[in-house]
Structure 1
Amino acid sequence: MASAAYSTAPAAAPAVAPVGAEAMTALEKQALVHVNALRTAHGCAALVIDRGLEKAAHGYAAEMVRTHNFSHTSASGKSPGDRARDAGYTRGGVGENIAMGFRGDPDGVVNDADYGWMSSSGHRENILDCDYTRTGMGYAAGNIDPHYADGSWVQVFG
C-alpha cells in the first residue's frame, strides 16, 4: 500500500444543504462511514458528500489508473484544487488523500485504506480537520504501479 496527503486552507462552511451520496458505490459509502466514525470519535462533525468533490475524486482515481501516475499533481500538471474547481467545487481550499494497492473483500479494503491514512500524519490531519465539512470519495480498480496491488483511492475534503 502507498498513500499521500495534500492540503490547502479550507473555507468557512457555506449555508448550503448537503448533497446526498446517490452516486457513490457501496465501497465508497463504506469508506465514508469509517472516516466519519473516526472524525466523530475525535470531536469533528461527520462529512457530507459534495457533488463537485465527488466528481473530482472519481475522475482522479480513474485518471491515476489510466496514466499510472500516483501523485497529487496529475500527469497534466493539475493540483487537487484545480481538479476540484474543474469539477464545479467553488467553496475554497481542499485537502486530498490518495492511496493505491488494496485488494480483497470490501471490509478489508476499507480497513486497510483507513489504517494507512490514519497512520500517516498528513492523511490523519486531513481526516481530523474539523474545518472540512464536505467530501468526495473515489475508488477505481486497476493497477497504477506493478509493485502494488490493484486499486486507487481518492478522498477530497472541502
Structure 2
Amino acid sequence: MKRLLTLSVIFLLTQLFFSCATLDKLNSFSASMNKKSEDSMSKKNQDTDKWDIAKLDTARNVDYLSTIEKDVILEMNKARSNPTLYAELYITPRTKKFDGKIYNDSIVTNEGITVVNECISYMKKSKPLSILNPEKGLSLAAQYHSSTQGETNQTGHTGVDGSDPFSRIKKYGTFKTAGENIDYGAKSGRDIVVQLLIDDGVSSRGHRKNIMNKDFSSTGVGYTKKHKAYGSVCVITYAGGYMEK
C-alpha cells in the first residue's frame, strides 16, 4: 500500500498570517503510480466540450514550463472557474473506488471517503474565481525548490539553502500575498490538483484554500520525477499583487 505527501504554506503580508501543514499530514489520492494514470492529460481527456480551454490554458504557450507544469495550471483554472463542474467531473467519480480507507485497491488514506465528500460539498458551495496567470519568477522559485528536493530526497518548505517560500519568491519579484503547495508522488496535472483539493489528512485544508484563494492571481509550477522516496515532487507557488523584478 502507498502513502503520498502534500504540504501547504501561505503568507499574507497584509495580515501577517502564516500556516503550514506538518510533515506527518499525508495525502493519498493519486492513482496507482505503477500504471498509466486514469487522469491522463491527453487531448481526448481534456473535456473540451465542457471547458473554455483557450481561456483557461493560460500557460500553454510559455517556454519556461514543461507539459505537466502547464497542465497543473490548467487544472487549477478549471477548478477556480467552475468549482461545481470540476467536482462533478473529477472528484465525485473517486467516491466509487473506496474500500474503507483504501482507495483504488492500493492507496492508504487517512480519512477515507469522508474527506472526498467534504471536498465535493465545498466545491459546490464555492463561487467561481478569476483564473491564475503564470509568472516566470514564481516558476523559477518553484522549480528551484522541486529540483533541489529531488536531488537531495528532502521534503518540506525549507530549501536546502535554508530558504523559505517567500524568500525564494522575493528573489524574482514582490508580492502582497503569497503561498506554496507541495505534492509528492502524483504523476499528472489533474492528479496533483485533485489530490491537493481533497487534502486528506490536513485538518486546515491549506492546499485546498491555496488553490481556491480569491486573492491569488499569479502562479508558478516546478515538477520533477527524480525524488527517490516519492517518485516526484510538484511545487506550486501563488501570489497576489505580484510584480517581477
1:69–1:144 CA contact under 8 A, matched in 2: no
Q: CA 1:10 to 1:54, structure 2 compared with 1: closer, same or farther past 3 Å?
A: farther
Match of 1:33 among 65, 74, 85: 74
Counterpart position of 1:138: 222
Which one scores higher on RCO, CA 8 angstroms, separation ≥ 6? 1
Question: What RMSD in Å do the two structures reach over aligned CA positions?
Answer: 1.9
User: How do 1:110-129 residues align onto structure 2 when only pairs under 5 Å count?
Assistant: 110-120=189-199, 121-129=205-213
Could you tell me how far 1:76 is from its partner in structure 2? 2.5
Counterpart position of 2:26: none
Residue identity opposite 1:97 in structure 2: N
SS at match of 2:213: coil
Structure-2 separation of matches of 1:127 and 1:144: 27
Match of 1:67 among 142, 152, 160: 152
Could you tell me how far 1:75 is from its partner in structure 2? 2.6
Which range moved further: 116-125 or 1-10?
Answer: 1-10
SS at match of 2:12: coil
Which entry has the higher C-alpha Rg, 1 or 2?
Answer: 2
1:23 maps onto 2:104 in alignment: no
5+ residue gaps in structure 2?
Answer: 15-57, 83-126, 200-204, 240-245
1:157 maps onto 2:198 in alignment: no
Structure-2 separation of matches of 1:142 and 1:75: 16
1:8 maps onto 2:11 in alignment: yes
1:121-140 CA distance string (max 9 Å, x none): 10000000010000001101
SS at match of 1:8: strand
TM-score (structure 2 length as normaliser) = 0.55
Alignment: residue pair count: 143
TM-score (structure 1 length as normaliser) = 0.83
1:25-59 CA distance string (max 9 Å, x none): 11111111100010112411110011110110111
5+ residue gaps in structure 1?
Answer: 12-17, 104-108
Q: CA 1:132 to 1:155, structure 2 compared with 1: closer, same or farther past 3 Å?
A: same
State the 4+ residue runs in structure 1 displaced beyond 3 angstroms. Answer: none
Structure-1 separation of matches of 2:219 and 2:13: 12
1:100–1:144 CA contact under 8 A, matched in 2: no
Structure-2 separation of matches of 1:96 and 1:138: 11
2:146–2:224 CA contact under 8 A, matched in 1: yes
